Amino acid sequence: MSIKGYIAVEGPIGVGKTTLAKLLAKKLDARLILENSESNPFLPDFYKNRERYAFQTQIFFLMSRSAQQQHFAHDDLFSQCTLSDYIFAKDGLFAGLNLSSDELILYEKVTSNLEKNVAIPDMVIYLTATVDTLIQRIRRRQRSFEKGLEKSYLENLCETYSNFFFNYSDAPLLVVKTDNVDFSTDGDKLSYIIEKISNKKEGTEYISFDSVLTDNRMGTG
């Protein structure tokens, strides 16, 4: 199947962004842009003491994501399909959740100079799941630095994502509930997602695999 443009997969920690992005990239013969969270040297300390290490952690992520985005933003994104497991705007979501008011002011000053050359996706796939599902998946992947991740933090993160995407209008949005889905083993559901990408619609479409609802309240983006 020939699909061109820039498609981003998003969602909270543990929801399966990278897994789906990899599977889609393989099926669509797409270029794959992955965020490497484990390269952030401040992340283990952040999970132990968020207040103390939030700013260092966030600035490292901001600079890393900006450099990665600007590297491929100048390429011809329409000559092939490009998949990523994040959108640049996620950085601001985490910043708003973790930084103090003074830190956030400084962060936003830095961000305003970096986001100008960021590529806007042609479509975003937003994966959702309950907090209990996220905790199970996080435990299953056994990343040592995530052992200190609190349920309350995940709850706040999910709410932050939900509020952000409720008003999202920059690109067609596919919201996929993933609690009972494993795309790595269910080829039919993966094919269904690819079909939705191929026939993307403006506005927002919700998929739970029990029912599908299209909502155009957000406009064309």
- Catalytic annotation, residues: 85
Task: Please answer whether residues 165 and 89 qualify as being in contact, where contact means their C-beta atoms are separated by less than 8 angstroms.
Answer: no
> Residue 166 carries which side chain, given as an amino acid letter?
F
Q: And the tokens for 123?
A: 């479509």
Contacts of 158 by beta carbon, 8 Å cutoff, 6+ apart = 12, 128, 131, 134
Three-state SS across the chain? CCCCEEEEEECCCCCCHHHHHHHHHHHHCCEEECCCHHHCCCHHHHHHCHHHHHHHHHHHHHHHHHHHHHHHHCCCCCCCEEEECCCCCHHHHHHHHHCCHHHHHHHHHHHHHHHHHCCCCCEEEEEECCHHHHHHHHHHHCCHHHCCCCHHHHHHHHHHHHHHHHCCCCCCEEEEECCCCCCCCCHHHHHHHHHHHHCCCCCEEEECCCCEEEECCCCCC
